[in-house]
Amino acid sequence: MNFFEHQAAARKASTRLVLLFVLAVIGIVCAVDVAVLIAIASQDESTPAQAAAMLIFASVVTIAIIGLGSMYRIASLRGGGETVALQMGGVPVPEQTRDPQLRRLRNVVEEIAIASGVPMPKLYVLEHEAGINAFAAGYSPSDAVVAVTRGALERLNRDELQGVIAHEFSHILNGDMRLNIRLIGVLFGILMMAIIGRKILEHGRFGGRDKGAGAVLVAALVAMAIGYLGLFFGRMIKAGVSRSREMLADASAVQFTRQTVGLAGALKKIGGVGDGAKLEHAGDAEEVSHMLFGDGIGLSGLFATHPPLLDRIQALDPSFRKDQLATLHQRWLSQPPNGLEEDARLGLVDGDTSRLPGSEAVFIVSPPMVVAQVAHPAADDYRRADAIVSTIPEPLRTLASSRDDVVPLMLALLLDDDDSVRSKQHTEIAARLGREIAVLTDALRSEQLGALHPMQRLPLAALAFPVLRLRPRPELNLVLDTLHAVVNTDGHVSVFEYCLGTLLQHQLRESLDPSQHVQFGRQKIATAKREASILLALVAQAGHDNPHDALRAYLAGLQRVLPHEHLDYAPPPEGVLALEAVWPVLNSLNPAAKQAMVEAVTAAVGHDGRISVSEAELLRTVCGVMHCPLPPMLERG
């Protein structure tokens, strides 16, 4: 499946989750009604009308408890992935850490983020967990968090850690995260009856001969019993939703890294080391068990959120036998694996010597080829990402990790080459953030960003994103206002600069209010004819100086998305500013319609089948704004 098919599958899974939730609620309500009927039968004085009223009341109260519980838990998670990580006891990984295990983790995640075409997620470590495990949490890539246990950092070598992180990134890219975080809220509501019963038993006083206390005790025990029914339903829902997507994530990780040794090695260590994947000290591991890389609580059979460990290993290494796990266990009892030592012994080090293509290079691509690459990186992309990261000048890497310098760095990426436009941008920055920031922004553009390779601009922004969103909300709102002013200075801003600024704005807004940006699009392309025409016209115009060539490029794109429509080529007079009204409509499209739009933009950018480096970066940026991230390279090696 490609990215758009994964998105459609995730949307269907979300619908299935709602259906399963409704069925679970019906089952719990029926159990409550049975308990009420038994209580009524024990009292001879109740009339049929009174019994019916009591049943209706009990059903309404039960539904209200479940619904309010789910809404409360979902509201408590509106902060997104960071909220989940903190509730699990995660500790943020510093930007400039000297811990070699954390440094290796950051390097691996940076490379995979750039290869995937998404912002660098925040990193957390579950410091007190000796088991090998990890999870990704959030509503969208812009608020994603990747958390790993200290046991994973200590036991896994670089290839194995890379396989685990690639597995988690597949959840980020395929829409699994938003499904998983909703699942937490849904299951909390189902378990509300058990929580209420447990709290009554913990804090109630049932001594003496008080008949009322006895009735409360019985009610609490009934609530606990019904709660276990809710637990049964909850575990069944998690197993049904999670298991197949875990196997899919394994397969995606293998395609990404193009080697099975790393991921298989991580799974073998889970089966062979004493601590396995168990979480002993993290918050409520039961609540997030469906999100973990490995089974963190020991469920099996119908309730297992993950396929059997041996099945996962054999899917990657068919020759592996069950008895080999016992052999590995015996070996690691006496000498537990040490990831860093294995790296040194196997020669697994950070860095890559691959060269970036020259600025004048061209790629031969086709719309179906680009569609297949959306959010679907391969090993070539990982190697290219490694090269991009290692060749970004160290001073720029330092600026990207500095809270004081990250804002002028991002603004510098958006400054126009035209002096008159840049002067207006300088004025906008000074008016909002102060003259000192404006001067520093100009200096960065002139002195450090002028020689930056076109392929390094988006990755540099991706690396800076976690630091940028650490700023307080009032400051971020001011930064958003400044970004908007800079990219909207006038119609002379280039399409690339406009789209990059818009991409940064969208990502920051999503990170500020992640729960507000979680909907899967449902609109068909027929509802976005005008918007599709505007985007294609501007992209075609930006890539061709000759109006006749631009017209042909526009028609090539239109043929891909609206083959039976006759929409005139009419670039809007306001230029890129016309795109302000385009993005909300295009982002509301369903997966199939977005696929058609990506094919159309690709056809317009390279209607002759050849795309330059600058055109490729424009395509990547436009796709990023439409939430269809592209890897850093369009050609396949």
Residue 122 pLDDT > 90: yes
Max avg pLDDT among 231-235, 355-359, 507-511, 585-589 = 585-589
The matching CATH number, chosen from 1.10.3080.10, 3.30.2010.10, 3.40.50.170, 3.40.630.30, for 82-183+244-346 is 3.30.2010.10
Contact indicator for 133, 93 with CB cutoff of 8 Å? no
Instruction: Select which of 129, 168, 510, 531 is catalytic.
Output: 168
Residue 350 pLDDT > 60: no
Signed CA dihedral, 506, 454, 595, 178: sign only: negative
Residue 326 pLDDT > 60: yes
Q: Which of 495, 515, 513 is nearest to 503 (CA)?
A: 495
Residue with tokens 């860095």: 351
**pLDDT number for residue 489:** 81
Provide the pLDDT confidence category of residue 620 given band limits of 50, 70 and 90.
confident
**pLDDT number for residue 635:** 67
Cα distance between residue 10 and residue 16, in whole Å: 10
**pLDDT number for residue 613:** 81
**pLDDT number for residue 569:** 94
- pTM value? 0.84
**pLDDT number for residue 439:** 94
Q: What is the average pLDDT score of the chain? A: 85
Contact indicator for 350, 104 with CB cutoff of 8 Å? yes
Residue 637 pLDDT > 60: no
**pLDDT number for residue 348:** 66
**pLDDT number for residue 5:** 74
Backbone angles phi, psi at 81, to 5 degrees: -60, -35
Contact indicator for 587, 519 with CB cutoff of 8 Å? no
Half-sphere exposure of 556 (CA within 13 A, CB side): 22
Give me the mean pLDDT over the 299-314 stretch: 83
| CA distances, 6 to each of 18, 170, 237, 249 (Å) | 18, 10, 20, 11
Provide the pLDDT confidence category of residue 347 given band limits of 50, 70 and 90.
confident
Q: What percent of the chain has pLDDT over 90?
A: 29
Task: Tell me if residue 349 falls in helix, strand or coil.
Answer: coil
342 as an active site residue: the answer is: no
Strand 362-364 to 91-92 pairing: unpaired
- Work out the angle at residue 95's Cα, subtended by the Cα atoms of residues 94 and 96, and round it to the nearest 5 degrees: 95
**pLDDT number for residue 105:** 95
**pLDDT number for residue 245:** 77
Cα distance between residue 590 and residue 584, in whole Å: 13
- Work out the angle at residue 186's Cα, subtended by the Cα atoms of residues 184 and 190, and round it to the nearest 5 degrees: 110
Look at the chain and count its residues.
637
Give me the mean pLDDT over the 365-370 stretch: 86
**pLDDT number for residue 219:** 73
Provide the pLDDT confidence category of residue 93 given band limits of 50, 70 and 90.
very high
Residue 560 pLDDT > 90: yes
What CA dihedral angle connects 461, 158, 82 and 480, to 10 degrees?
0
Contact indicator for 129, 280 with CB cutoff of 8 Å? yes
**pLDDT number for residue 126:** 95
Give me the mean pLDDT over the 335-363 stretch: 75
Backbone angles phi, psi at 578, to 5 degrees: -65, -15
**pLDDT number for residue 206:** 53
Q: Which of 315, 319, 328 is nearest to 132 (CA)?
A: 328
**pLDDT tens digits, residue range 178-203?**
878 888 888 888 888 777 777 777 66
**pLDDT tens digits, residue range 259-298?**
788 999 999 999 999 888 998 876 677 788 888 999 888 7
Residue 529 pLDDT > 80: yes
Residue 537 pLDDT > 60: yes
Provide the pLDDT confidence category of residue 349 given band limits of 50, 70 and 90.
low
Q: Answer with the residue of higher pLDDT: 456 or 132.
A: 132
DSSP 589-615: B-HHHHHHHHHHHHHHHTTTSEEEHHH
**pLDDT number for residue 598:** 93
Residue 353 pLDDT > 60: no
Task: Tell me if residue 125 falls in helix, strand or coil.
Answer: strand
Provide the pLDDT confidence category of residue 556 given band limits of 50, 70 and 90.
very high
Half-sphere exposure of 196 (CA within 13 A, CB side): 22
Residue 506 pLDDT > 60: yes
Residue 17 pLDDT > 80: no
Give 556's strand partners. none
**pLDDT tens digits, residue range 94-104?**
888 889 999 99
Task: Tell me if residue 58 falls in helix, strand or coil.
Answer: helix
- 182-191 in b/e form (b: 16+ CB < 10 A) is bbbbbbbbbb
Give me the mean pLDDT over the 370-392 stretch: 82
Cα distance between residue 245 and residue 247, in whole Å: 5
Task: Tell me if residue 220 falls in helix, strand or coil.
Answer: helix
Q: Give the tokens for residue 274.
A: 């004493």
Residue 502: partners with Cβ closer than 8 Å, 6 or more residues away: 487, 579, 583, 625
Residue 211 pLDDT > 60: no
Q: Answer with the residue of higher pLDDT: 204 or 482.
A: 482
Residue 332 pLDDT > 80: yes
**pLDDT number for residue 520:** 65
Max avg pLDDT among 486-495, 525-534, 616-625 = 525-534
- Going by the DSSP 8-state scheme, the letter that residue 189 receives in this structure is H
Residue with tokens 């004085």: 45
Residues of the chain with CATH 3.30.2010.10: 82-183+244-346
Max avg pLDDT among 186-195, 227-236, 437-446, 508-517 = 437-446
Residue 354 pLDDT > 80: no
Cα distance between residue 71 and residue 84, in whole Å: 16
Backbone angles phi, psi at 471, to 5 degrees: -70, 150
Angle of the 591-605 helix axis to the 613-625 helix axis, nearest 10: 160
Provide the pLDDT confidence category of residue 39 given band limits of 50, 70 and 90.
confident
Residue 69 pLDDT > 80: yes
SS (H, E, C) 386-444: HHHHHHCCHHHHHHHCCCCCHHHHHHHHCCCCCHHHHHHHHHHHHHHHCHHHHHHHHHH
